[in-house]
Amino acid sequence: MKLLVVIVQDNDVNLLMDDLVENKYSVTKLATTGGFLKEGNTTLLIGVDEEKVQDCIALIDRNCKKRRSTTFINPSTQGVVMQSIPIEVEVGGATVFVLDVDQFLKL
């Protein structure tokens, strides 16, 4: 068994969860925050049999869009803080970690 740890944008979560549940995947949803943008995102924990991993990743891929987001950074030169400047980053579709599961118990 594998554990997929999947970080997605909040905007994609409802459709993604519906698609996962319809396709008989078990999923746990966590409210999380990205370290760079400091904005809310969502982390899903999905335990899947090894042969279903690629199917599950394809399902995630078709539900998660790339979007651009703007954040402000404060550049500093020799300790002097300058005016903050906007930078644009591309976020998502999804960040996926695939982990081995040693044991899966339901007690």
Q: What are the residues binding ligand 2BA (CB under 6 A)?
A: 7, 34-37, 41, 89-92, 95
> Which one, 21 or 30, has the nearer CB to ligand 2BA?
30
> Which one, 10 or 49, has the nearer CB to ligand 2BA?
10
At residue 37, what is the residue type? Answer: L
Task: Please report, for residues 16, 27, 48, 88, the alpha-carbon distance to residue 65 in angstroms, rounded to integers and kept in the order given.
Answer: 11, 20, 23, 16
> Which one, 28 or 103, has the nearer CB to ligand 2BA?
28
Residues 6+ apart with CB under 8 A from 87: 70, 71, 72, 73
CB of 26 to ligand 2BA, least distance (A): 22
